[in-house]
Amino acid sequence: MTQEELFKKLVAHCKEYGFVFPSSEIYDGLGAVYDYGQNGVELKNNIKRYWWDSMVKLHENIVGIDAAIFMHPKTWEASGHVGAFNDPLIDNKDSKKRYRADVLIEDWLAKQDEKIQKEVDKARKRFGEAFDEEQYRATSPRVAEIAAKRDAVHARFAEALNASDLAELRQIILDCEIVCPISGTRNWTEVRQFNLMFSTQMGSTAEGANTIYLRPETAQGIFVNFLNVQKTGRMKLPFGIAQIGKAFRNEIVARQFIFRMREFEQMEMQFFVKPGTEMHWWNEWKNTRMAWHRALGFGDDNYRFHDHDKLAHYANAATDVEYNFPFGFKEVEGIHSRTDFDLGNHQKFSGKKIQYFDPESGESFVPYVVETSIGVDRMFLQVMSAAYCEEKLENGDERVVLRIPAALAPTKVAVMPLVKKDGLPEKAREIIDNLKYDFVVTYDEKDSIGKRYRRQDAVGTPFCVTVDHQTLEDGTVTVRHRDTMAQERIAIEALHAMVDEECSFRKLFRKLNL
Contact pick of 13, 215, 260, 346 for ligand GAP (by CB under 6 A): 260
Contact pick of 212, 296, 332, 354 for ligand GAP (by CB under 6 A): 332
Instruction: Return the number of the residue (92 or 373) whose C-beta is nearest ligand GAP.
Output: 373
269 touching ligand GAP, by CB under 6 A: no
Q: How far is the CB of 260 from ligand GAP (least distance, A)?
A: 4
249 touching ligand GAP, by CB under 6 A: yes
Name the segment binding ligand GAP (CB under 6 A); options: 69-77, 296-304, 330-338, 505-513: 330-338
CA dihedral 435, 439, 443, 444 (to 10 degrees): -130
What is the chain's length? 514
Contact pick of 377, 444, 457, 468 for ligand GAP (by CB under 6 A): 377
**∠ Cα 278 284 290 (to 5°):** 130
268 touching ligand GAP, by CB under 6 A: yes
245 touching ligand GAP, by CB under 6 A: no
The SS3 of residue 199 is strand
Strand partners, 98: 91
DSSP state letters, 46-80: HHHHHHHIIIIIT-TTEEE----SB--THHHHHTT
Name the segment binding ligand GAP (CB under 6 A); options: 60-68, 285-293, 367-375, 401-409: 367-375
Name the segment binding ligand GAP (CB under 6 A); options: 34-42, 134-142, 145-153, 371-379: 371-379
Name the segment binding ligand GAP (CB under 6 A); options: 166-174, 235-243, 326-334, 457-465: 326-334
Q: How far is the CB of 20 from ligand GAP (least distance, A)?
A: 13
Give the CB-side neighbour count of residue 109, counting CA atoms within 13 A.
18
- For residues 465 and 478, the answer to whether their CB atoms sit within 8 Å is yes
CA dihedral 112, 114, 116, 119 (to 10 degrees): -140
Instruction: Return the number of the residue (48 or 507) whose C-beta is nearest ligand GAP.
Output: 48
The SS3 of residue 173 is helix
Instruction: Return the number of the residue (318 or 402) whose C-beta is nearest ligand GAP.
Output: 318
Contact pick of 113, 165, 251, 284 for ligand GAP (by CB under 6 A): 251
Contact pick of 219, 404, 477, 503 for ligand GAP (by CB under 6 A): 219
Name the segment binding ligand GAP (CB under 6 A); options: 67-75, 120-128, 137-145, 368-376: 368-376
C-alpha span between 322 and 334 (Å, rounded) = 9
Q: How far is the CB of 321 from ligand GAP (least distance, A)?
A: 8
Instruction: Return the number of the residue (100 or 452) whose C-beta is nearest ligand GAP.
Output: 100
Comparing every residue's Cβ against ligand GAP, the nearest one is: 375
Name the segment binding ligand GAP (CB under 6 A); options: 72-80, 199-207, 262-270, 440-448: 262-270
217 touching ligand GAP, by CB under 6 A: yes
Dump strand ranges (E) for 37-164.
62-64, 86-91, 98-100
**∠ Cα 284 285 290 (to 5°):** 105
Contact pick of 42, 333, 342, 444 for ligand GAP (by CB under 6 A): 333
Angle between helices 166-175 and 141-162 (to 10 degrees): 160
CA dihedral 502, 503, 504, 507 (to 10 degrees): 50
- For residues 35 and 20, the answer to whether their CB atoms sit within 8 Å is yes
384 touching ligand GAP, by CB under 6 A: no
Q: Which sign, positive or negative, has the C-alpha torsion 255, 257, 262, 267?
A: negative
Instruction: Return the number of the residue (243 or 355) whose C-beta is nearest ligand GAP.
Output: 243
C-alpha span between 396 and 399 (Å, rounded) = 10
Contact pick of 331, 358, 500, 502 for ligand GAP (by CB under 6 A): 331
Q: Which sign, positive or negative, has the C-alpha torsion 303, 307, 312, 314?
A: positive
221 touching ligand GAP, by CB under 6 A: no
C-alpha span between 222 and 156 (Å, rounded) = 36
Q: How far is the CB of 463 from ligand GAP (least distance, A)?
A: 31
Give the CB-side neighbour count of residue 261, counting CA atoms within 13 A.
24
Residues that bind ligand GAP (CB under 6 A): 217, 219, 249, 251, 260-261, 264, 266, 268, 331-334, 371, 373-375, 377-378
